[in-house]
Amino acid sequence: MNEQIKNAQEKFAELLTEQFARIEKMKAEKDFIDYEKLDKIIIGVVGGDGIGPAITSQAQRILEFILADKVASGKVEFRVIDGCTIENRAAAGKAIPDDVMAEIKKCHVILKGPTTTPRAGDPWPNIESANVAMRKALDLFANVRPVKVPEEGIDWTFYRENTEGAYAVGSKGVNVNDDLAIDFTVTTQEGSERIARAAFEYAKKTGKTRVTAVTKANIVKTTDGKFLKICQEVAKDYPGIELDDWYIDIMTAKLVDPKRRTQFQVLVLPNLYGDILTDEAAEFQGGVGTAGSANIGKKYAMFEAIHGSAPRMVKEGRDKYADPCSIIRAGVMLLEHIGFVDEAKRLERALDICMYEEKKLQITGRDTGCTCAEFADYVMSKLS
C-alpha cells in the first residue's frame, strides 16, 4: 500500500510541475493577434475523420466562394491539412501527430471537422481527444458558442473555459490500485481571470447587461469556488454589467424554463459544465448539428462543428448526406473573427433562410434528403 501511495504521489508531483509551467506561459502571453495587420491570413482546413471531411469540404467551398476576391488578391489563403484521422493519430500514438501539428501552427485560424476520441473497447489506443490536444497546444482558452432562437426570446452566448477544469489532465488520472482511481480538476488564477474577462468584454462590446457564472461552488468548493470568486472580482471592473451565479444542476433546469431562460445573455463556465450545457442549449435551435463553435486564443483560433464524427454514417455510406450546418455556422464565426463582418452577416443570413425560412432542401442523413454538397449549393445561391 505504501508503494502504491508513493507512485501516486510521484505522478501528482509531475502534474503539478506541468501546471506551474503552463501558468508561467499564460503570464507571458502577449496581446491578441491583429488580423488587419497581416499581409495574408492563412486558413487551415482540418477535415478530421468520420463525416468530418465530407462536411468540412463543403464549408470550405462556401468560404472560398464568399472570399473569392480576397483569395484572388492574396489576402486570404486556404490550406488543407490532412493526417488528423483516427487511423493516423492511433499509428502515431498521439492525439495530433507532430507533422500535422506543425502544419496547423503555420496557419492563423483553423476550420476543423469532428474527430473521433477512442473509448474503452474501441480498436484504437487510449489517446487524448484531438480537440483537447489542439486547445492546449494552441492555448485556445475560450470556447465561444452562441445559441439564438428569436421567436422564443433566446439569445445566449456561452464562454466556456477551454483548457482547464476536468479536461486539463483528463488522460492523466491515477489508478492507485484496483480499488481506487483518481482524476483531477485544475483551476488557475490566470486561466479563470482571462475567460471571465473575455466574457465581460464581449458583453460590453455587444451591449449586454448580464453575465452569468455557472459552477457547483457550493460542493466543489476549492476549484469551482475559486472560479466563481475570480468572476466576482472581474465583475467589479464592469459596473454597467450585472453578474449573477447559478449552480450547474439548477441551470440545466432553468434553460428549459420559458420564463427564466429569456433572462440569460452571456454565460461563463468551467470546462466540463460548459461542454454539457452548450449541447443542451443547442437543442433549442435544432440540435448540435446546427451549432458552431469558436475556440479563441491570443495567437490562434479554431472553429468547429460541435457534434461527433458519426463513424456509423461512413460505414453505411451515408457521409455525403451528413448535415453541414454546424460547420457552416462555425464558418460564420470564423469570418467574423478575422474581420470580415459583412461576409459573416451575409453567410449567416443565407444559412438562416435555408435552415429556418424557405427550407426547400431537407437534410435527413439519408438518401431521403439532400447531400451536404447540394445543401452547400443552396446556401451559396442565397448569398447576396
Task: Assign a CATH topology to domain 1-29+146-287.
Answer: Isopropylmalate Dehydrogenase (3.40.718)
Confidence band for 252, pLDDT divided at 50, 70 and 90:
very high
pLDDT for the residue numbered 19:
93
Highest average pLDDT, of 206-210, 243-247, 285-289, 293-297, comes from: 243-247
Give me the mean pLDDT over the 24-37 stretch: 87
pLDDT for the residue numbered 306:
78
CB 54 within 8 A of CB 320: yes
Residue type, 91: A
> Does the pLDDT value for residue 80 go beyond 70?
yes
CB crowding 20-49: b at 16 or more within 10 Å, else e: eebeeebeeeeeebeeeeeeebebbbbbbb
> Does the pLDDT value for residue 316 go beyond 70?
yes
> Does the pLDDT value for residue 1 go beyond 80?
no
Give me the mean pLDDT over the 263-285 stretch: 94
Task: Assign a CATH topology to domain 31-140+297-384.
Answer: Isopropylmalate Dehydrogenase (3.40.718)
> Does the pLDDT value for residue 353 go beyond 80?
yes
Give me the mean pLDDT over the 246-269 stretch: 96
Distance CA 285, CA 148 (A): 7
pLDDT for the residue numbered 141:
93
The answer to whether the Cα torsion of 134, 373, 148, 201 is positive or negative is: positive
CB 376 within 8 A of CB 324: yes
* Domain coordinates in residue numbering, the chain: 1-29+146-287, 31-140+297-384
> Does the pLDDT value for residue 291 go beyond 80?
no
pLDDT for the residue numbered 221:
97
pLDDT for the residue numbered 349:
94
- Bridge-based pairing of strands 301-305 and 109-112 is parallel
| Mean pLDDT over the full length of the chain | 93
This prediction's pTM:
0.81
- In tens, the pLDDT along 48-60 reads 999 999 999 999 9
Distance CA 334, CA 327 (A): 10
Phi and psi (nearest 5°) for 35? -65, -25
Confidence band for 79, pLDDT divided at 50, 70 and 90:
very high
> Does the pLDDT value for residue 289 go beyond 70?
no
> Does the pLDDT value for residue 121 go beyond 80?
no
- In tens, the pLDDT along 41-50 reads 999 999 999 9
